[in-house]
């Protein structure tokens, strides 16, 4: 079987091995594939691996040999699932591979805001502490997490990982979730949407991107939040109306934001959030620890091997 990996660089920039796939198929690897080369590179393939390369209906209609699309990510909105199903193409994804890494990154962003470690390390290196008249020095608010309320929007694998860490910090945990009663672990309380935004000292987003979750953070929900609140997004960029967030931060209606994802990636240099001091942005790295990428690679190989055996796993277009 001929397999084409269309954008393999972010998964494997050289520190992992493609050997597992090479043992299963005749493989061609591309680091990146622009949209105008997708058909040329995929036209002879029976199977493709994609992360961000789009397979819409028009593209799928032009690839009669294609039988399998492996998405090397959890989200699969780059694929027209119905078109794939209509053509008998199996589409698989990689669920839950990065839950621990994402939860860790959520708290890296939170602690960046509450403790300002990088700022103070830079100040010490610049000699500010050495010139201090006191044994201590700080010039930003320093905040304790114990007793604060964290609101988790979405209690899937990532949200639950965040909840476990939050409980260990002694935080109060509330959630926007369809889970109720016995399905909710001890220490987590489901609330209404209005209660969620009003009560949270920290809001962290863990929803997939759907028409219902698009711009869940907007002028209206931001207006409900405390001016002392922090927003964290490590999920999907378009969950946040970036213009509304920039306005809230600039007008001090929100204390700070920590974002690992943006609506456009990479973001335009003109994006207003990039210049706001209390908006802390990292370049979509929550998923990218070596441990998470190793799990992703192993699951990618497992998905394809299972497909070849006729026992498909992690199919998203049944």
Q: What angle do CA 246, 251, 257 make, to 5 degrees?
A: 45
Nearest to 11 by CA among 48, 49, 40: 49
User: Within 13 Å, how many C-alpha atoms sit on residue 79's CB side?
Assistant: 28
Confidence label for 182 from pLDDT (cuts 50, 70 and 90): confident
Mean pLDDT, residues 23-43 taken together: 98
**Residue 313 confidence (pLDDT):** 98
Mean pLDDT score, 84-102? 97
Q: Contact, 282 vs 257, CB < 8 A?
A: no
Rounded mean pLDDT, 220-226? 98
- Cα separation, 132 vs 252, whole angstroms: 29
Q: Given pLDDT bands bounded at 50, 70 and 90, which one contains residue 16?
A: very high
Q: Judge contact between 161 and 100, C-beta under 8 A.
A: yes
The mean per-residue pLDDT over the stretch 150-160 comes to: 97
Q: Is 293 a catalytic residue?
A: no
- Reference 113, options 279, 282, 283, 284; nearest CA is 279
Please state, as a whole number, how many other Cβ atoms lie within 10 Å of the Cβ of residue 188: 21
Kindly state the average pLDDT of the residues 186-211.
Answer: 96
For residue 202, pLDDT beyond 90 = yes
**Closest listed residue to residue 263, CA positions, set 287, 249, 245:** 245
User: Which among 44, 144, 194, 265 is annotated as catalytic?
Assistant: 265
What pTM was estimated for this model as a whole?
Answer: 0.95
pLDDT range class, residue 107, cuts 50, 70, 90: very high
Q: Is 236 a catalytic residue?
A: yes
Q: What is the mean pLDDT of the chain?
A: 97
Q: Please, which residues bridge with residue 50 across strands?
A: 71
Domains belonging to the chain, first-starting first, are 2-97+290-309 (3.40.50.720), 99-281 (3.40.50.720)
pLDDT score at 180: 84
pLDDT of 181 over the 90 cut: no
pLDDT of 224 > 90? The answer is yes
- The predicted pLDDT at position 315 comes to 98
Instruction: Note the pLDDT tens digit of each residue in 62-78.
Output: 999 999 999 999 999 99
* Confidence band for 114, pLDDT divided at 50, 70 and 90: very high
Tell me the percentage of the chain whose pLDDT exceeds 90. Answer: 98
Task: Name the residue among 16, 24, 13 with its Cα closest to residue 70.
Answer: 24
User: At residue 227, does pLDDT exceed 90?
Assistant: yes
> Average of pLDDT values for 268-297?
98
Catalytic residue among 206, 236, 293, 295: 236
What pLDDT is stored for residue 261 in this prediction? Answer: 98
Q: Which of 87, 214, 215, 284 is flagged as catalytic?
A: 284
State the pLDDT at residue 183.
86
């Amino acid at each position: 079987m001929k397999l084409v990996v269309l954008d393999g660089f972010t998964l494997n920039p050289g520190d992992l091995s493609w050997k597992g796939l090479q043992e299963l198929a005749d493989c061609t690897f591309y680091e990146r594939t622009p949209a105008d080369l997708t058909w040329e590179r995929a036209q002879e393939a029976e199977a493709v691996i994609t992360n961000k390369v789009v397979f819409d209906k028009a593209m799928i209609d032009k690839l009669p040999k294609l039988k399998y699309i492996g998405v090397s990510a959890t989200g699969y909105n780059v694929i027209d699932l119905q078109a794939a199903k209509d053509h008998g193409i199996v589409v698989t994804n990689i669920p839950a591979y990065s839950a621990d890494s994402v939860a860790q990154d959520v708290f890296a962003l939170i602690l960046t805001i509450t403790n300002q470690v990088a700022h103070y390390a830079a100040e010490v290196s610049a000699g500010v502490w050495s010139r201090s008249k006191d044994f201590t020095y700080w010039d930003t608010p320093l905040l304790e997490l114990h007793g604060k309320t964290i609101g988790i929007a979405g209690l899937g694998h990532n949200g639950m990982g965040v909840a476990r860490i939050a409980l260990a910090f002694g935080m109060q945990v509330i959630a926007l979730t369809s889970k109720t009663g016995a399905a909710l672990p001890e220490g987590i309380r489901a609330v209404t949407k209005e209660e969620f935004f009003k009560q949270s000292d920290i809001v962290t987003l863990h929803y997939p991107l759907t028409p219902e979750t698009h711009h869940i953070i907007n002028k209206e929900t931001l207006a409900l939040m405390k001016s002392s609140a922090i927003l964290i997004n490590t999920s999907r960029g378009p969950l946040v109306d970036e213009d509304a967030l920039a306005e809230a931060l600039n007008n001090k209606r929100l204390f700070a934001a920590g974002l690992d994802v943006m609506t456009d990636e990479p973001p335009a240099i003109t994006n207003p959030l990039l210049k706001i001091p209390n908006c802390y942005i990292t370049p979509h790295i929550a998923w990218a620890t070596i441990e998470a990428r190793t799990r992703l690679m192993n699951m990618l190989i497992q998905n394809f091997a299972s497909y070849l055996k006729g026992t498909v796993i992690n199919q998203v277009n049944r």
